[in-house]
Amino acid sequence: MRRLFGDAFTPKKAPSRKSACLSSLYTVDPWTRELELGFEYGPPRMNIGGHIVKFKEGQWIAESGGNTSRREIHQLEKRNVRLEVENHRLKLEIEILLDMLTETTIEEKMEKEGKT
């Protein structure tokens, strides 16, 4: 076999890899990096319709209330409850429709098997 291909099949040696980045940004511990470079990490914040909210302990919390009155908050709470009730009702309707579809499908299969 060696005569067929000769010595030309010997693979070439791979070039050595370049060294990794040794920037001081990666070698300094996080506390020193924050002091020296001025990075300020904190909870994520968003401005939504003039209201600033921040993400803390798994929930979005209003940081600045803006101009929201108690009346608006009460209306939003009532709307939220109404939408939750509607969502629950729609989920029940879907379950009922799926049950009806399953029942109809089974009945059709049984009729086909009975006729053949």
At 6 the pLDDT is 61
Asked if the structure places residue 101 within a domain, the reply is yes
89-108 per-position pLDDT tens digit: 999 999 999 999 999 999 99
Q: Is residue 52 located within the same domain as residue 91?
A: no
- Whether this model's pTM surpasses 0.75: no
Number of domains in the chain: 2
Is a pLDDT exceeding 80 seen at residue 18? no
Count Cα atoms within 13 angstroms, Cβ side, for 24.
5
Mean pLDDT of the chain: 79
At 45 the pLDDT is 80
92/99 Cα distance (integer angstroms)? 11
Q: State the residue for tokens 């050595």.
A: 16
Instruction: Name the phi and psi angles at 10, rounded to 5.
Output: -65, 125
58-88 per-position pLDDT tens digit: 888 887 655 667 888 889 999 999 999 999 9
Q: Is residue 63 located within the same domain as residue 74?
A: no
